[in-house]
């Protein structure tokens, strides 16, 4: 029983979500290899090789893998899959894009977004926006899985490095090519890995008002999130969205400002350790999910909060 974990990375840095996938992999087997496919990604392979619980790192470093297009990477994983019982990846947009393509090549089901491993073939995963938890059993000989990062701790690094093996480049499918990327630049912590997340919703009213969320985040060294309503209204970019179809976060402290608390939003943050809500509507559903709530005008409360935090 061996596991292949597909590393999520940008050719220079490993996405920390992969560390949680490695923890999940180690719950299945001691025999865990990690594939790093990309271009000029040796630094990523080096850092992966020092993660605890890994047997070897497979590096596939070439032009064809540079953009990590699913059309090129899926056949590579398919070819490697023969000797593995499980193929795992983090449930990031990269993993979600790639893994079903691999599963279909293998003619097996995929189990998406697992939150626990019950046995070698049985897993728990949320569905219906996390309103119910399903326990599912695979009947396939191989199992393709994406892992919800917030449900597994991050694997730690060690001093000893696992061996790194070079894999030949796959052929270019010719089906797709990368045109451009527009990545949000931020000095703040990454949303899915931050200890504190401040999220703003429709209650902010407009893009200019969203600045008070930034100010509050600065006071707490926090990442910034948003409800779907705030993203749809153009207050912030799409990658800020927390929820069923956006990012899943579970920080130590989550502060929801001007967010009513639709079930689709709660699905993305309800596993946070402590949840605070600030909303003028005492009946807003968000208060049913919070540890501490303040009912009132966010434009009065948030500046008070910033001032109190900055004066500590």
Q: Which of residues 83-102 bind other proteins (CB under 8 A)?
A: 92-94, 96-102
Which CB, 53 or 243, lies closer to other proteins? 243
Site string for other proteins, 121-140 (x = CB under 8 A): -x---xxxxxxxxxxxxxxx
Which CB, 54 or 70, lies closer to other proteins? 70
Supply the minimum distance, in Å, between the C-beta of residue 219 and other proteins. Answer: 10
User: Which residues within the stretch 250-309 sit at the binding site for other proteins (CB under 8 A)?
Assistant: 252-253, 263-264, 270, 273-276, 282, 287-295, 301, 304-305, 308-309
Rounded to 5 degrees, what are φ and ψ at 105?
A: -65, -35
Rounded to 5 degrees, what are φ and ψ at 218?
A: -65, -40
DSSP annotation of 312 reads -
Instruction: Count CA within 13 A, CB hemisphere, residue 165.
Output: 10
Supply the minimum distance, in Å, between the C-beta of residue 254 and other proteins. Answer: 10
Site string for other proteins, 11-50 (x = CB under 8 A): ----x-----------------------------------
Supply the minimum distance, in Å, between the C-beta of residue 123 and other proteins. Answer: 9
User: Of these, 179, 187, 206, 208, which contacts other proteins (CB under 8 A)?
Assistant: 179
Which CB, 161 or 220, lies closer to other proteins? 220
Interior angle at CA 277, CA 93 and CA 221, nearest 5: 60
User: Which residues within the stretch 59-78 sit at the binding site for other proteins (CB under 8 A)?
Assistant: 69-71, 74
Cα separation, 272 vs 275, in Å, equals 6
Cα separation, 90 vs 18, in Å, equals 6
DSSP annotation of 105 reads H
DSSP annotation of 76 reads H
Tell me: does residue 81 bind other proteins (CB under 8 A): no
* Stretch of 51-59, 81-89, 176-184, 204-212 contacting other proteins, by CB under 8 A: 176-184
Cα separation, 86 vs 28, in Å, equals 9
Cα dihedral sign for 123, 127, 133, 139?
negative
Q: Which helix (H) or strand (E) holds 292?
A: strand 292-295
């Amino acid at each position: 029983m061996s596991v292949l974990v597909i590393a999520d990375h940008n050719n220079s840095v490993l996405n920390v979500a992969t560390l949680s996938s490695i923890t999940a992999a180690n719950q299945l087997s001691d025999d865990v290899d990690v594939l790093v496919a990309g271009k000029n990604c040796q630094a990523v392979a080096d850092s992966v090789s020092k993660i605890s619980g890994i047997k070897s790192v497979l590096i596939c470093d070439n032009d064809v893998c540079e953009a990590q297009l699913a059309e090129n990477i899926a056949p590579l994983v398919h070819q490697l899959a023969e000797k593995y019982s499980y193929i795992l990846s983090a449930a990031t947009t990269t993993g979600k894009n790639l893994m079903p393509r691999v599963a279909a090549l293998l003619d097996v089901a995929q189990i998406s977004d697992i939150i626990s491993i019950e046995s070698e073939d049985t897993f728990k995963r949320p569905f219906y926006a996390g309103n119910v938890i399903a326990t599912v059993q695979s009947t396939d000989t191989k199992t393709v899985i994406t892992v919800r990062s917030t449900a597994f701790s991050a694997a730690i690094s060690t001093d000893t490095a696992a061996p790194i093996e070079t894999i030949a480049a796959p052929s270019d499918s010719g089906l797709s090519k990368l045109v451009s990327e527009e990545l949000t630049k931020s000095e703040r912590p990454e949303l899915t890995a931050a200890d504190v997340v401040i999220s703003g919703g429709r209650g902010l009213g407009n893009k200019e008002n969203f600045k008070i969320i930034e100010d509050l985040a600065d006071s707490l060294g926090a990442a910034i999130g948003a409800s779907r309503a705030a993203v749809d209204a153009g207050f912030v970019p799409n990658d800020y969205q927390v929820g069923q179809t956006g990012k899943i976060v579970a920080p130590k402290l989550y502060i929801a400002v001007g967010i009513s608390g639709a079930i689709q939003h709660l699905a993305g943050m309800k596993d946070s350790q402590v949840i605070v809500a600030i909303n003028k509507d005492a009946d807003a559903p968000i208060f049913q999910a919070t540890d501490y709530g303040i009912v009132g005008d966010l434009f009065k409360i948030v500046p008070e909060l910033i001032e109190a935090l900055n004066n500590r």
